Amino acid sequence: MHSLSLLYLIAAAGSALGHIEMSEPVPFRSRFGSGGDVDYSMTSPLLADGSNFPCKGYQHDSVSKPSATYKAGGSGEIKLAGTATHGGGSCQISLSYDQGKTFKVIESIIGGCPLPMQYSFKIPSSAPSGEALLAWTWFNKIGNREMYMNCAPVSIEGGSGDKAAFDKLPDIYVANVGNGKTTIEGQDVVFPNPGDDTTGTDKSSGDAPAGSSAAGNASAPAAASGAASTPDASPAASPTPAANTPAANTSAANTPAANTPAANTPAANTSAANTPAANSPAANTPAATTPALQINANAASSAAETPSPSESAPASESTPSDASSGIGGSDNLRITCNCSSLP
């Protein structure tokens, strides 16, 4: 149990020391100062609800002397400490003369901040003389959407007194603290109004990603229109020639069976093999109409038992005596051929 508690404390301490904080000028309650009330979580971001904005709520602390003194129109520098830079990001340096109600930007660093741990800035010549707050704010590029802010008490000397000109400087950018603005993961913040003094490595990657337009994503593929216009019924024309009976089949169906000698090829079988329509004329034509054959009256009673010409032996041959057929012999059946009617 004690081991787990110790590990938790070590992890928490490492997390607190792992972010970035301003070391110069020395912020309120910083471990780099000489004061007794030290905040060891100075590397932590502002609360997500914005309740400790600005300056983590320390801007009203009383101090014996300012952390640094600057001359209007001159220059200064800040130093940072820590290891977890979260891929860099964008930072701003600003001044406040009303205990943190408003902060005016004097330097914007877009991209690559805080990869270096030291940055120079200029104090505007229009900056009024007097006590002020110098703030360093940072929006990390990688990680949770957060805002970091450290503030230090400073003094400005030799100001021109042109406060109206100073008030025209842009306000600091505020986001990720419950004010409705959220930065984008993986992109350097491009401040909407960075001011005249701007540095950094990236001044464009904070724009909206290319190709994010909803209209472009909704465009339908061109192939869809072509597929819809192709008629599904294009093969329908093929049955039309099939429905037309070839001339050869029509002639065969219309030719009377009498034209074909029964002894050679049965007309009914030929028509049936070609076109089913030929079966009707063959079935309707009585066998007696065939002029090629004449059957003796003596065999009329047994003709019904005689196989049809299409199934029997050729008519030119004599039928042998067969008791099962009901015909007594060749003397009882005489077949003559009227050959003059044949073609």
pLDDT at residue number 34:
83
Residue 201's pLDDT is: 74
87 has pLDDT over 70: yes
User: Pairing between strand 104-110 and 198-199?
Assistant: parallel
Quote the crossing angle between the two packed helices 267-274 and 247-254, to the nearest 10°: 150
Percent of the chain having pLDDT more than 90? 49
* For residue 259, pLDDT beyond 90: no
Q: pTM score > 0.75 for this model?
A: no
In this structure, how many other beta carbons lie within 10 angstroms of the beta carbon of residue 69? Answer: 12
Look at residue 139 and tell me whether its pLDDT is greater than 80.
Answer: yes
Query: Residue 338: which pLDDT band, with cuts at 50, 70 and 90?
Result: low
Cα–Cα distance for residue pair 219/217, rounded to 1 Å: 6
Higher local confidence (pLDDT), 186 or 323? 186
Chain segment 12-64, per-residue pLDDT in tens:
444 444 589 999 999 999 999 987 799 999 999 999 999 999 999 999 999 98
Average pLDDT, the chain: 69
Q: Which of the residue ranges 81-95, 120-134, 322-336 would you say has the lowest mean pLDDT? A: 322-336
pLDDT on residue 242 = 38
For residues 294-315, average pLDDT: 38
For the ranges 5-9, 17-21, 129-133, 167-171, the lowest mean pLDDT is seen at 5-9
Specify the pLDDT at position 202: 64
pLDDT for the residue numbered 331: 42
Class of domain 10-204 (CATH, top level):
mainly beta
193-245 confidence digits (pLDDT tens): 999 999 987 655 444 333 333 233 333 333 333 333 333 433 333 343 333 43
Give the H/E segment covering residue 247: helix 247-254
Domain boundaries, the chain: 10-204
Contact 89, 113 (CB under 8 A): yes
Do residues 315 and 262 make contact, with C-beta atoms less than 8 angstroms apart?
yes
| Selected residue with higher pLDDT from 117 and 4 | 117
Contact 171, 103 (CB under 8 A): yes
User: What confidence tier does 162 reach under pLDDT thresholds 50, 70, 90?
Assistant: confident
Residue 84, pLDDT score: 87
